[in-house]
Structure 1
Amino acid sequence: MTETRTDTAAKATTLARLHSAPEILQVVNVWDVISARTIAGIPGTTALATASHSIAASLGYEDGENIPLDEMITVVGRIAAATDLPVSADLEAGYGDPGDTVRRAIGVGIVGANIEDQMRPLADAITQMEAVLAAGTSEGVDFVLNARTDAFVKGGDRDPADVLADAVERGRAYLDLGATTVFVPGLLDEQAVTTLVEAFGPQRLSVINVPGSLAPSRLQELGVARISYGPWTQRVALTALADSAHELLAGGTLPEGTLPLN
């Protein structure tokens, strides 16, 4: 499938609309072409998002920008080329040059991205997010920035109220720049979600669901824009593989109902 810049721009517009719709956007994260095609074929899937942790793990790298950028761009480009759906990529903190990284991602058909602030000084994080948005503008694409603040991820033993205040301050700053949504990963309770939605506005908060998270239906009621699942989708697949291997090595058989999805 050959992607034109017009196609890419149209997909970016579609992805932005999916974030602002009252119905919550759920993206079941993928890490290669076959996982992307599998999820794209599930009724109700309207967009795809990659998981950097899962892509790195599949290629033998530790998470945290240890995968070379060229390899990451190759993988997300293959995923984008394998589907007609808009694809958002997890591009970590931008691999040292978020503007150029996003420009390269757009070149292979990516129309949105998570970019981590890693709790660097706010002025530096703002410069980082500005570079991402400028790259989209220069490429003629209304790029969907899911600006990630690591306030909760890096909160440690700090007072939870201070952590939440940091997330609010940073998220508002990124929205003021033109970010589509603010991604606040962490195990958020209902009070935290409510506070963030009130601070950002409805359909501006993006969250990750992990074991113990609020249900998607409740998050939609609270005004959350987007739910992703990060590395947990790959963990689900690997757990099924491990369970099957245990069964086979114990003299069992393949699970009934296994589909030839590849």
Structure 2
Amino acid sequence: MHRRAVPAEPLVLPGPWDAASARVFEAAGFPALATPSAGVAAALGYEDGGTPVDEMFAAVGRIARAVDVPVSADVEGGYGLAAAELVERLVEAGVVGCNLEDGEDGRLKDARAHAEFLGEVCAAAAGRVFVNARVDTFVHGDGDPERAVERAALYVAAGAECVFPILAPVAVLPLLRAGIEGPLNVLAPADADGPALAALGELGAARVTFGPGLQRRAAGALREIAAGLTA
């Protein structure tokens, strides 16, 4: 799904936060879905990063069982699980891919240590789980695209099949595309339309996700409905 014949047609993966939203996205025709940890946390009543590991896996399992399309799960930094256990829990939940981020407690992890962990995950996965390595240089680092490229190179060498420089400015996408091997995941705003997504594809995005943006947009719509009921 990540190998594009047409640059303007990236793989667009909306982020369901529960089984109902997953079914809506599937019915709309999306070929695969990617859960956002922050969106799932909000649906379960937790702050971003505060979801207990068992509840997160239970939630993504319900989402995966609710649809027939492939589901990838954002599992943050891996919840401290050993690589083999993390992979087995992903497989048991019924998901076919995962995001693993290289930021923790507001700072970047040591890139080489994280690459070693990713290598262990990829080895344990043995093709059963697609590993998307999130690069947090634009969140917790100095925002230097060259640093993002350097970290991405370590993760690709470790076996990651896609790289996700989250919050990378649109202006640096061509530089990232030129410097990073393999598919590039780009975060789109929740209100992006077809032409905007196509433009991201032209700039190098093979995969487009929305993080918790769609869940937050839906919550905003619900607030408007609720306000109308009390007017």
Aligned residue number for residue 179 of structure 1: 160
Shift in alpha-carbon separation, 1:220–1:185, aligned structure 2, 3 A: same
Following superposition of structure 1 onto structure 2, how do residues 66-85 of structure 1 map, counting pairs within 5 Å? 66-85=50-69
Across the aligned residues of Structure 1 and Structure 2, the Cα RMSD in angstroms comes to 1.8
Does the 8 A contact of 1:187 with 1:209 survive in 2? no
Letter matched to residue 114 of structure 2 = A
2:116 corresponds to 1:132:
no
Q: TM-score, normalised by structure 1?
A: 0.80
Does the 8 A contact of 1:187 with 1:212 survive in 2? no
Structure with a larger share of its residues in strand = 2
State the 1:98 CA deviation. 5.2
Aligned residue number for residue 196 of structure 2: 215
Does the 8 A contact of 1:187 with 1:210 survive in 2? no
Shift in alpha-carbon separation, 1:212–1:145, aligned structure 2, 3 A: same
Aligned residue number for residue 14 of structure 1: none
Following the alignment from structure 1 to structure 2, what is the Cα–Cα distance between the partners of residues 212 and 107?
33
Does the 8 A contact of 2:91 with 2:128 survive in 1? no
State the 1:41 CA deviation. 0.5
Does the 8 A contact of 2:34 with 2:73 survive in 1? yes
Aligned residue number for residue 177 of structure 2: 197
1:113-141 Cα shifts (integer Å, max 9, x gaps): 0000112111211122112212212xxx4
Letter matched to residue 37 of structure 1 = R
Aligned residue number for residue 254 of structure 1: none
Letter matched to residue 11 of structure 2 = L
**1:117 aligns with one of 87, 98, 102:** 102
Following the alignment from structure 1 to structure 2, what is the Cα–Cα distance between the partners of residues 219 and 153?
20
Following the alignment from structure 2 to structure 1, what is the Cα–Cα distance between the partners of residues 43 and 170?
31
Following the alignment from structure 1 to structure 2, what is the Cα–Cα distance between the partners of residues 125 and 165?
18
State the 1:206 CA deviation. 0.5
Letter matched to residue 49 of structure 1 = A
**1:47 aligns with one of 32, 53, 78:** 32
State the 1:211 CA deviation. 6.6
Deviation beyond 3 Å, 4+ runs, structure 1:
211-214
Following the alignment from structure 2 to structure 1, what is the Cα–Cα distance between the partners of residues 87 and 196?
32
3-state SS of 1:174 partner: helix
1:201-231 Cα shifts (integer Å, max 9, x gaps): 4x61101112798921111112311110011
Following superposition of structure 1 onto structure 2, how do residues 1-262 of structure 1 map, counting pairs within 5 Å? 18-22=1-5, 23-43=9-29, 45-64=30-49, 66-97=50-81, 99=83, 100-118=85-103, 119-137=108-126, 141-155=127-141, 158=142, 160=143, 163-190=144-171, 192-201=172-181, 204-210=183-189, 215-250=196-231
Shift in alpha-carbon separation, 1:38–1:148, aligned structure 2, 3 A: same
Following the alignment from structure 2 to structure 1, what is the Cα–Cα distance between the partners of residues 204 and 145?
18
Give the number of the structure whose alpha-carbon radius of gyration is greater.
Answer: 1
3-state SS of 1:19 partner: coil
With 123-132 and 29-38 compared, the bigger mean Cα shift is at 123-132
Following the alignment from structure 2 to structure 1, what is the Cα–Cα distance between the partners of residues 94 and 75?
14
Number of aligned residue pairs: give it.
Answer: 221
3-state SS of 1:147 partner: strand
Following the alignment from structure 2 to structure 1, what is the Cα–Cα distance between the partners of residues 206 and 66?
25
Letter matched to residue 16 of structure 2 = V
